Structure 1
Amino acid sequence: MSFGQGDPQGPHGGQGPQGPQAPQPWGPPQGPAGTPDWAALADDAAARGRRRRLLLIGGGVLAAAGVAAIVATAIVASDKDTGGTKKTATGPAPASGTPASPEPTFAPVAPPAPLDPRDFISEAGKDKAPLTPATLFPEAKPAVGGRVYERTATSATADCAAVTQGGLGSVLAGNGCRRVLRATYVRDGVAVTVGVAVFDTKAAADRAKDRSTGNIEALNGGGSPEFCRATACRLTANAEGRYAYFTVAGYTGNKPVTAEDTKALTAGRDISTYAFGRVLARGRAAAAAAAAETPAR
């Protein structure tokens, strides 16, 4: 039994199985009888408007975030360019390697000039140290030029002329001699007496040395034999500061000194050098004490 093509009923009188449906053409939703579904169209248009607004808002947010990122990057880059130094109202930051303000400079302070020992022994007002045979001739066996002498006697007197011979007494007194300190040294059969005459000023001592004549009187004692009594001897005269100092040197036993002699000549020069050193030592000690008392600048 066959069925005709126009018969919609199957063998049991029900709806038969449906085959694949044909695709619908693109277009607006269809209503009954093929008319457009205007309500669906309105809903679709409204949905599309909402999606567009969301896209615009999202794009604006992204654009704002991008601008903020660019500004932040520019600020960071600016900080890197200036080394992080903020500009102030006083002007731009200094260039690299240039100090912000001039470094203070200080003029060098010169150290105080050293004190001259001779200034302290040139006048009585500055020469205040004790002056006795013990302070002026402290060594019992001084060495000069490698030669050792033994001190045998010392003395001091305010009567300057009393310890001189010839015209030296009047020269000392005429220039204001205050006192004479003497000491005798012996070495190898030669004896030397040195007499140090003390004045108030250097000028007076210099005049006494320049005008000296005669000699200081030899000082015996301490077991040393007599020397330079009414016999030829070697003489010296010098001055340092307010001191004039004289020596007389000769052989013990009062043996005369000849013109060719060198031993008495050397001994006299040695003791004269020693006297100079002792006088200058007074000035050095006074200068050192004055420097210690001067406050540091």
Structure 2
Amino acid sequence: MLWTAFGVVATGLVAAIVATVVVTVNKDEGTKSDAAHKSLPPTATLPSPSTSASPRFSSVAPRPVPSPSEYLNSAARDTAPLTAAGLFPGGELRLDGGTYKKGPLAATGDCAAAAQGALGGVLKANGCRQLLRATYTRGGVAVTVGVAVFDSAGAAAKAKEQARGNVTSLPGSGVPVFCRTTVCRSTTNAFARYVYLTVGGFRDGKAVTKADTDVFRAGDELSTYTFRQIYARGVAAASKAAASPAP
């Protein structure tokens, strides 16, 4: 019985101690919270929200970037210098099909004189102002690229639709006469106020057939390159206009 009573007393003592600890801890927490609350500064001394001005933006919309073709559709706006050397720069041209060596260059205001077949009459009738030419070679293949310049995109489009014949090949600088009396491959395209043409074949005078993929590829690659050169003129003009102060 004594052990039992002692055990009961001991158990009660532990419970009392636990209860005392719990109450004491809760009391301390409440005291600290009240003290922290009382230590806050009065409302008048708290920092006020920022009164700095909000960022301001111009209500004037920026000028839209003009399309490159807008500056190539007419001679009135397409005023940058235009030469064969400027349109076909450098000595070599690296394209997907390989490296092409640039040969002779030529420019003439008599467009019909640099055309074969009915093309000369078509260029003249539509007001061709000048015809720029360059010849490129790769291995045994030679291609002459021609760029006919008109006053307007409408005149160029009309000339392209009416075109028959081809640009006259341009020999020189080690390139023999080619594509004058044999079968060659030619292309004709137009962009803005320009008609760009190619005539390509073999340097040794051999006739071109549909199986001669090197000739076809050279003509296509050089035609695409010429388009990009023309387009670059429009990009340069549009960029210059966009960078200039608004009137």
Output the TM-score relative to the length of structure 2. 0.75
The answer to whether 1:178 aligns with 2:129 is: yes
1:286 partner SS: helix
Structure having the higher strand fraction is 2
Please give the secondary structure, in 2, of the residue aligned with 1:253.
coil
Distance 1:264 1:157, change over 3 A: same
Asked whether the equivalents of residues 227 and 255 of structure 1 are also in contact (C-alpha less than 8 Å), the reply is no
Asked if the contact 2:84/2:106 (under 8 Å) is kept, the reply is: yes
Matched, 1:139 2:113: no
Q: What is the match of residue 202 of structure 2?
A: 251
Does 2:163 correspond to 1:225? no
Given candidates 241, 250, 256, the residue that maps to 2:192 is 241
Higher CA-based Rg: 1
Deviations 1:7-53 (Å, cap 9, x if unpaired)? xxxxxxxxxxxxxxxxxxxxxxxxxxxxxxxxxxxxxxxxxxxxxxx
**Once the two structures are superposed, what CA deviation does each residue of 1:200-245 show, in whole Å capped at 9, x if it has no partner?**
0011111111111111111001111221121111110011111101
SS state at 1:142 partner: strand
1:66 — aligned with what?
none
Aligned AA for 1:269?
A: D
How many pairs were matched up?
A: 205
Could you tell me which runs of 5 or more consecutive residues in structure 1 were left unpaired when the two chains were aligned.
Answer: 1-79, 85-95
- Alpha-carbon deviation of 1:256? 0.6
* Residues in 1 aligned to 2:88 and 2:211: alpha-carbon distance in whole angstroms: 30
Letter paired with 2:130: R
Aligned ranges for residues 19-58 of structure 1 at < 5 Å?
none
State the partner residue of 1:122: 73
**Other-structure match for 2:156:** 205
The structural deviation recorded for 1:258 is 0.9
Q: Please, what is the CA RMSD of the aligned residues? A: 2.6
Measure how far apart 1:110 and its partner are: 3.8
**1:279 matches 2:224:** no
4+ runs of 1 displaced by more than 2 Å? Answer: 103-112
Code of the aligned partner of 2:116 = Q
Which is richer in helix? Answer: 2
Q: Please tell me whether residue 167 in structure 1 is matched to residue 118 in structure 2.
A: yes
TM-score relative to the length of structure 1: 0.63
- CA-CA distance at 1:106 after TM superposition: 6.0
Percent of residue pairs bearing the same amino acid type: 49
Q: Specify the alignment match of 2:141 in structure 1.
A: 190
